[in-house]
Amino acid sequence: MITKNVTDEAKISKKATADDTGLYTCHAKWKETLKIIEKQVTVADPFSSHLFTIEPQSRIFEGDDFIIRCTVQISSLILSDTKTELTITKGTTMITKNVTDEAKISKKATADDTGLYTCHAKWKETLKIIEKQVTVAVPVSKPSLRLTAFNSIVAQGDRLQLTCAVVRGSWPIIYTFYKGTPEKYLHQSILNATAGVYIIPSADTADSGEYFCRAENNAGVKHRCERSQNININVKGTKAMWLKYYLQRILVPLLLLLSSIFLIYVIVQYRKNRRRKIMTQQNQGSVKENNVVVYSKVKEKAHPNEEEDTFNIPSSKGTGTDSECDCEIN
């Protein structure tokens, strides 16, 4: 039962939807008298056709002609001048909007075109939505081979790790590592990642040589494969390993210690010499100021022609009072 009234009218008013399609019955009862009238109601879809197509329909590769088309047709049963509104969005971003029977986008496919696209068709209060996921396949870029060792020198027994990495490329990517020639590979892995790793737990002198890697995927009209640069690895023996340990753990710290001691010694000697020079200059200035010539009479002349005997007596350092004195000796 939808509604029931005890008046001369029962009424329902709402916006029609597809769920309203069905058989409706009106029951009119007065005492023992009952009248029933039935009506079949069919709510027609205003859109006789609503299509959302993306080309190419199969896998889309970077550089392909990429076309998105959203179309709609109004049912011939509807007599209205109201236009249909078509909108194409990627995620939550609107790309285009038209009030015609078609919305279209045409461009060259790139990696950024990957995402969820939606076609919105709206007529009055009726809204129809169709979604499609688009994935643009991107060929692998030229890989780069890296080694976790300084200057490509590895000591015997060290852990050797090679990393083959690409900047871009659709997954899955096949990473293959080689030594010397491409006839036989050392390691291969298929990953949903932008890098593959090859590890030698304990390197030996036999692992010395030239290495390279390849990265490949099926992101093009044909299979795409790129080769990295070559790197040369030199695995040193136990003697070289001991020398490396000696240089890193003993000699370098010892040289740093001796350098520090020598620097301290130079600074101390410089300060001592400077202090000694300042004291010498001060002493020389004091002696020059306090030296006074004193003439003393030793004895009286015994003869008029006899010369006076005199001698100089340097005074001691001044005390700030008398700087000169006369002494007479009988």
Which pLDDT score is estimated for 4?
A: 76
Torsion angles phi and psi, residue 131, rounded to 5: -115, 145
Options 1.20.120.80, 3.40.50.1820, 2.40.50.140, 2.60.40.10; which CATH number does 144-236 get?
2.60.40.10
Q: How many CB atoms lie within 10 A of CB 53?
A: 14
Alpha carbons 99 and 86: distance in angstroms, whole number: 6
116-125, 144-153, 201-210, 259-268: range with lowest mean pLDDT: 144-153
| Contact criterion met (CB below 8 Å) for 312 and 281 | no
Q: Which of 22-31, 84-93, 187-196, 308-317 tops mean pLDDT?
A: 187-196
Percent of the chain with pLDDT over 70: 77
9 versus 161: which is more confidently predicted? 161
Which pLDDT score is estimated for 241?
A: 59
Q: Is the pTM of this model over 0.85?
A: no
Look up tokens 């890697």; give the residue: 213
Which pLDDT score is estimated for 20?
A: 79
| Residue 58: pLDDT over 50 | yes
**What is the distance of C-alpha 28 from the center of its chain?**
76
Predicted confidence (pLDDT) per residue in 143-163, tens digit: 999 987 655 678 888 888 999
Which pLDDT score is estimated for 117?
A: 95
The rounded mean pLDDT for the chain is 80
Predicted confidence (pLDDT) per residue in 276-321, tens digit: 888 888 887 665 555 545 455 555 555 555 554 444 445 444 444 4
- List where CATH 2.60.40.10 sits in the chain: 47-137, 144-236
Which pLDDT score is estimated for 76?
A: 64
In terms of DSSP bridges, do strands 136-137 and 60-61 run parallel, antiparallel, or are they unpaired? parallel
218 versus 8: which is more confidently predicted? 218
Predicted confidence (pLDDT) per residue in 81-130, tens digit: 777 889 999 999 999 988 888 899 999 999 899 999 999 988 887 788 89
Q: What is the dihedral of CA 132, 137, 138, 144, to 10 degrees?
A: 120
Which pLDDT score is estimated for 304?
A: 52
Which pLDDT score is estimated for 191?
A: 95
Which pLDDT score is estimated for 322?
A: 44
The CATH code for residues 47-137 is 2.60.40.10
**What is the distance of C-alpha 61 from the center of its chain?**
27
Which pLDDT score is estimated for 317?
A: 47
Which pLDDT score is estimated for 100?
A: 80
Which pLDDT score is estimated for 323?
A: 41
